Chains A and B, each alone.
Chain A
Amino acid sequence: MNYDRILIRYGEISTKGRNRNKFVDKLRKSVRIALSSFPNIKIEASRDRMYVLLNGENGIEIVNKLKNIFGIQSFSPAIKIEKDVEILKQASLELVNSLYQPGQTFKVTAKRSDKTFELNTDETNHAVGGYLLQNIPDLKVDVRNPDINLRVEIRKEAIYLSCETIQGAGGLPVGSSGKALLMLSGGIDSPVAAYQAMRRGVEVEAVHFFSPPFTSERAKEKVIDLCKKLAEISGGSMKLHIVHFTDIQQAIREQVPENYTMTSTRRMMLKITDKIRAKQEGLAIITGENLGQVASQTLESMFAINEVTNTPILRPLISMDKTDIIKIASAIDTLEISNRPYEDCCTIFVPASPKTKPKREKVNQYESYFDFEPLIKEAVEEVETLHIKPDWNSNSEFDELF
């Protein structure tokens, strides 16, 4: 027997009160984008369930796509049947028969949200379970650890049968929590920070600082490749703002004592990111900062750097262990890209002994001898913005060779 639909259960959306419709709409949009290569499907969304009607499309491929969509708690391939006890028994038998292998155990889990149905939950369990036992030789019941768990959901409009519950990615639908700008260096942490923010429904745009000839085209390509992965995760496209940073970096080197260059560089980056954020109407800035990991990520450094803005800075990785960050990077497929060994904006000009406890007064004093504002204004005006999609292909010049 073939499943004809996939039943999707919302996660925390269900608890979001009056905002629920907005959340469901965002999720429906995510699902539609993720399944855009299946033209025949139909999506039906209600307050507490969503159904993807397969209409002959490949269920297995659709299941794989759904696994990655934020805002889905769990989902089950299902069959819709009429609310009739005989039809219910017959369809249950067909479904279990199609999965059953000799020696396996089962149980029936009925849920009745429509209390007008002629059988209550227990009676449904008994009726269906008994019928299966009579008709499938050797089938045994195991309520604790069954091989097949037949779920019968009796709802107002119909009964849904399913045997499998697949865990979704959890979180909130992308875009349901507003927009933020990510400072994306190319290292391991920032893509993971983006992922964590996306999981909570944030729409992410990335900012990357490019300093030719100190950083190379390859470092920029690395960042584009990371954005391709992130675009795939967010289910669509991602904006990447590339800031030309060479002049500012050189000015800092000339003006600021060596052990404060790092602090000052981060302050300039944050100022620029904040200006881009304002232009893009974002509400926060995301960084991959992780407390104590490097000199710029001590509390003292953050205190000195954060001074330049009062925009909320989200640091999803702040208290995580590096090994756990690496695990996520590996799972979302960004680790290998991040490990490419090119100099990026964070690794060049690292002073031999950067201040781990910089002072706000000092850094303000050093920066006061030079007017950085015109350079910052220019950098913001000349930002290069790319709309990266998962299939963004910078290789097309070579296609005929393949």
Chain B
Amino acid sequence: MIYFDNSATTKPYKEVLDSFMKVSNDYFANPSSLHRFGGQAEKLLTQAREQVARLLNTKPGEIFFTSGGTESNNLAIKGAAFQNRNRGRHIITTKIEHPSVRDAAAQLERDGFEITYLPVDQSGRVSLSAVEQAIRKDTILVSIMHVNNEVGSIQPIKEIGELLKNYPTILFHVDAVQGIGKVPLSITESRIDLCSLSAHKFHGLKGTGVLYIREGVKLTPLFSGGNQERTLRSGTENVAGFVSLAKALRLTMMKSDSGLKAMKQINNLLRTELSKIEGITINTPADDSAPHILNFSLTGIKSETFIHALEQRDVFVSTTSACSSKKKAPSHTLIAMGVAEDLAERAIRLSLSFENTEQEAKKVIKAISDTVNQLGKVMKK
């Protein structure tokens, strides 16, 4: 099996599963319980928080554990909106965000907020001047993703952060779910107030995530209850999940140090070889794109058919994002980039992890080439 769908989810590392099992089995107490057993669980939680903070170069008090990227994004956006609604009701985001940002914004729109959805250029990037022009007196939040999940384009987060230094009252949220470990991002140096992460994108477990909240930033919580996570996220903490998240993040950062170069080479190989195949158009921009994502469109072949054909050759890839792949709609991102609708409907995304090899890439190239030949003939008839 060749798994090239790592932007949908990654395989948990064995060490991560081991930690999860051991903590679930040996330290299952509620960290809020007063007894020593509860104290141990609390210590594990604290150590997980400290490790994540160290790896992200933040303070432990700025790390909040959540159930994943979707919750982190919702908490960041709605929490910031509700907290600041008396100061202003204008939010800036982009046309290429993940649905958990886009639809959270859309929900706020129905609640009386105004949303500006910034366009992107042909390479899937938002421009700094567009952000600046969109800023109004009543803007309270800018939410822009780091790496686009569909095509892998990298947004100019550092530059936008630099720009927002002139607007100290505007909060800056970055959905960094796709970029973590693959594209370097300094949270503290990019003037980021809120930053979302999801463990299952870096070989952790589903149902665990992080929201970084800069010290001093206040949000309105989404959940009412036992006031865990310093009142921001009620619900008994998933201690085993968060310990395993901390481990997954450490291992990912470690592999990232040595693995990025090879990943880039594999991506280049895929790009070069696939662009030689007739009927394939590469959508991922050559520059300023993440090393693990390559998106292309097929002429004349439906992407769903193509996925199933590849799966018969034991190769697993995605149409666009896993979240929207079941809806038969063209890719939002590709449409925003100005890709024609028929191509935007026929997009395929390959996404790599540090575990993938050049060997596998060569096999995938051959499988894709053979499939295009085979299906192309059938479709043309």
Contact = CB atoms under 8 A, between A and B. Distances in A.
Interface of A: 216-218, 221, 333, 336, 394-395, 398, 401-402
B44 interface: yes
A402 B51 contact: yes
A218 B22 contact: no
Complex A-B, nearest 7 residue pairs according to Cβ-Cβ distance, in ascending order: A401-B19, A395-B47, A218-B39, A336-B61, A401-B243, A402-B247, A402-B51
B157 interface: no
Dominant SS at the A interface? helix
- Per DSSP, are chain B's interface residues mostly helix, strand or loop, or mixed? helix
Which of B23, B47, B250 is the most central at the interface, judged by chain A CB atoms within 10 Å of its CB? B47
Interface string B209-250: 000000000000000000000000000000000010011001
Contacts of B42: 218
Contacts of B250: 402
A402 B54 CA distance: 13
Contacts of B247: 401-402
A402 B39 contact: no
A402 B61 contact: no
Contacts of A394: 43
Interface string B18-49: 01001100000000001010010011101110
Q: Which of A221, A401, A402 has the most CB of B within 10 A?
A: A401
Given A217-B39, A336-B61, A398 B44 contact: yes
A402 B243 contact: yes
Given A216-B34, A217-B39, A218-B39, A401 B61 contact: no
14 contacts: A216-B34, A216-B39, A218-B34, A221-B39, A336-B61, A395-B47, A398-B43, A398-B44, A398-B47, A398-B243, A401-B22, A401-B243, A402-B246, A402-B250
Given A217-B39, A394-B43, A402-B243, 10 more contacts: A216-B39, A218-B34, A218-B39, A333-B59, A395-B43, A395-B47, A398-B43, A401-B19, A401-B44, A402-B48
A221 B59 CA distance: 19
Nearest to A393: B47
A333 B22 CA distance: 32
Contacts of B47: 395, 398, 402
B40 to A, nearest CB: 8
Contacts of A398: 43-44, 47, 243
A186 to B, nearest CB: 15
B297 to A, nearest CB: 43
Interface string B340-378: 000000000000000000000000000000000000000
A402 B250 CA distance: 8
Contact of B19 (A216, A221, A395, A402): A402
B352 to A, nearest CB: 26
Nearest to B22: A401
Interface in B59-84: 59, 61
Nearest to A401: B19
B336 to A, nearest CB: 35
Contacts of B243: 398, 401-402
